[in-house]
Amino acid sequence: MFVDKAVIKIKAGNGGDGAVTFRREKYVAAGGPDGGDGGRGGNIVFVADDSLSTLADFRYKRKYKATAGTPGAGKRCHGKNGEDLTIKVPRGTVIKNNETGRIMADMSTGAPFIAAKGGRGGWGNTHFATATRQTPHFAKNGAPGEELEVCLELKLLADVGLLGYPNVGKSSLISVVSDAKPIIANYHFTTLTPVLGVIRMGPESSFVMADIPGLIEGAGDGVGLGHEFLRHVERCRLLIHVVDISGSEGRDPKEDFETINRELVKFNPDLAGCPQIVAGNKLDLATDAQREAFRKFIEEEKQLPYFEIIAPIAEGTKELINYTAARLAELPAVKIYEPEPPEELPDFADRRRRNAFSVHVEDGVYYIEGEWLLKILNKTDPEDYESLQYFQLVLRKSGIIDALVENGIATGDTVDIYGLEFEYVP
């Protein structure tokens, strides 16, 4: 099954906690703290894989989580770093932040992309030893790994896109000029998925053509099958618009041409500026008057290059392909989407998320809540003066004390942090 869009959740590994240990050795009276740092959490890494052609695997697995770093240990032993989780996607996949729509990366090159970074490991109590605080009974927790929901969109890497109504001969054309083997039949929507074909012009010269499933009127608004695949023409450097000039389906070829172009503009205005070549197919079924009228319409009125072909027997296709190759040599390379900058720097965003807290007053007691506070509280020893001093320093630096003052706290009022109660003293 061809799947070209998927939404998944990714979670990088948390950093390991720092250790609270002390050196204990025979004949050493005061070994001091020797707690090691926690390991870094694993990253979520995307890589392009040419053996993949669809995002079907992401229909069944939607959550990806890297391993966490292990905690530090005594003797200043550093915890093991978490292993990176590598996710393979087809080349040409665009990764977006599903919440903001921001483009994070275009997996069109061989470079890997780190979508979510693992959390840093926490410091062991070795880092907190000073001349006046020689036995710190606390350490730092590991930072949480980044977590977000991403949208994967596959946009085919093709130089040329074939456009046109269903059953106008696009599949026949790509089958005779390339190595592609699409389904060909005399009924609508025989092509249900985009088909890629490589057209070789010489030993070191070739280009890729994509047969996009047939568009119909209203495709830009989601009608029919074509709207599902319009994203695949966004990268194309050149469009070949195939038209049934005989009107064998009971439609006017001029109106067909205008309708498809309106749908392109409606879907993405930039596509209107993409160079076009018009291929008038089913020449053998058209009258001389039909041929001449459509030729004048394209060449004189629309000012576009025009070729008449009979796709199934390759009549006129050589001239069309030679012109296409020459035109491609003049055009820029396939479009690569540049990552869009975030609205705020990731460091500040992470810091705000990690240090978020809330203060509410109930019956004269000031309650403070914050997920990160609970982790620090678990590492704090209420019976150890130095540990409480460090905890107080955290409250000041994080802005909690300032928030209490803004909420009208007075000397002697009770503050509650997840069950730990103390009197406020400025």
Portion of the chain with pLDDT greater than 70, in percent: 86
**Is residue 148 domain-shared with residue 191, that is, in the same domain?**
no
Q: Across residues 192-203, what is the average pLDDT?
A: 78
Domain limits at 368? 355-423
Q: Rounded CA gap, 301 and 245, in Å?
A: 16
- Express each pLDDT in 90-101 by its tens digit: 888 999 999 889
Residue 182 has pLDDT above 80, yes or no: no
> pLDDT band at 17, cuts 50/70/90?
very high
Same domain, 177 and 106: no
Residue 237 shares a structural domain with residue 306:
yes
Domain-embedded: residue 29: yes
CB of 47 within 8 A of CB of 88? yes
pLDDT digits (tens, 9 = 90+) for 335-368: 888 888 776 544 544 555 556 888 888 888 898 8
Same domain, 285 and 414: no
Categorize the per-residue pLDDT at 188 as very low, low, confident or very high, splitting at 50, 70 and 90.
Answer: very low
Q: Are residues 169 and 31 in the same domain?
A: no
- Per residue in 318-338, pLDDT (tens digit) is 999 999 999 999 998 888 888
Please tell me whether residues 119 and 40 are part of one structural domain. yes
Residues 306 and 370 in one domain: no
How many CB atoms sit inside 10 A of residue 403's CB? 16
Mean pLDDT of the region 146-170: 88
CA gap 233, 156 in Å, rounded: 8
Are residues 8 and 62 in contact, defined by beta-carbon separation less than 8 angstroms? yes
Count of the separate structural domains present in the chain:
3
- Tens digits of per-residue pLDDT, 27-41? 766 678 999 999 999
Residue 339 within any structural domain of the chain:
no
Residue with tokens 């004390």: 401
Beta-carbon contacts of 183 under 8 Å, excluding residues fewer than 6 positions away, are: 171, 190, 191
pLDDT digits (tens, 9 = 90+) for 407-418: 888 888 998 887
Contacts 24+ apart (CB under 8 A), 399-406: 399/355, 400/357, 400/359, 400/368, 403/357, 403/359, 404/359, 404/366, 404/368
Looking at the structure, do residues 312 and 175 belong to the same domain, yes or no?
yes
Our measurement of the distance from residue 222's CA atom to the centroid of its chain's CA atoms, rounded to an integer in Å, reads: 23
What pLDDT, on a 0 to 100 scale, did the predictor assign at position 235? 81
Q: Which pLDDT value is given to residue 327?
A: 94
Rounded distance between C-alpha atoms, residue 288 and residue 292, angstroms: 6
Residue 334 domain flag: no
* Segment 72-81 mean pLDDT: 93
Instruction: Look at residue 43 in the predicted model and tell me its pLDDT.
Output: 96
Confidence band of 224 (pLDDT split at 50, 70, 90):
very low
- Model confidence at 197, pLDDT cuts 50, 70, 90, reads confident
Per-residue DSSP letter, 298: I
CATH number at residue 417: 3.30.300.350
Do residue 216 and residue 364 come from a single domain? no
Q: Is 343 domain-assigned?
A: no
Q: What is residue 335's DSSP assignment?
A: P
pLDDT confidence band for 183 (50 / 70 / 90): very low
Of the candidates 155, 183, 215, which is a domain's last residue? 155
Q: What is the CATH number of the domain that holds 242?
A: 3.40.50.300
- pLDDT, position 2: 60
DSSP strand pairing (160-163 vs 238-244)? parallel
Domain end point (choices 313, 328, 343): 328
The answer to whether residue 340 sits within a structural domain is no
pLDDT of 220 over the 50 cut: no
Q: Is the pLDDT of residue 296 over 60?
A: yes
pLDDT of the residue at 103? 93
Res 191: pLDDT: 44
Q: What is the mean pLDDT of the chain?
A: 84
* Predicted pLDDT of residue 227: 53
Select from 121, 155, 189 the last residue of a domain: 155
Q: Considering the domain boundaries, does residue 336 fall inside one?
A: no
Predicted local distance difference test score (pLDDT) of residue 184: 46
Residues 324 and 252 grouped into a single domain:
yes
Domain co-membership, 136 together with 167: no
140 and 173 part of one domain: no
Tell me how far apart the alpha carbons of residues 355 and 371 are, in angstroms, rounded to a whole number: 9
In a domain, 275, yes or no: yes
Res. 226: pLDDT tops 80: no
What CA–CA distance (Å, rounded) separates 134 from 129?
5
* CATH number, residue 92: 2.70.210.12
What contacts 24+ positions apart, CB below 8 Å, involve 308-312? 308/245, 308/279, 308/280, 308/283, 309/169, 309/173, 309/279, 309/280, 309/281, 309/283, 310/281, 310/282, 310/283, 310/284, 311/169, 311/172, 311/173, 311/176, 311/242, 311/281, 312/169, 312/172, 312/176
Closest CA to 212 of 200, 198, 230: 230
Q: What pLDDT, in 10s, does the model give residues 379-407? A: 676 766 667 777 888 888 888 888 888 88
Q: Is the confidence at residue 219, as pLDDT, over 60?
A: no
pLDDT at 155: 83
Structure tokens at 159: 């130089």
Angstrom distances, CA of residue 119 to CA of 17, 95, 163: 10, 21, 47
Let me know if residue 341 belongs to a domain.
no
Q: Please tell me whether residue 392 adopts helix, strand or coil conformation.
A: helix
pLDDT tens profile 40-67 = 999 999 999 988 878 888 988 999 999 9
Rounded to an integer, the average pLDDT of 13-31 is 84
What is the per-residue pLDDT for 147?
93
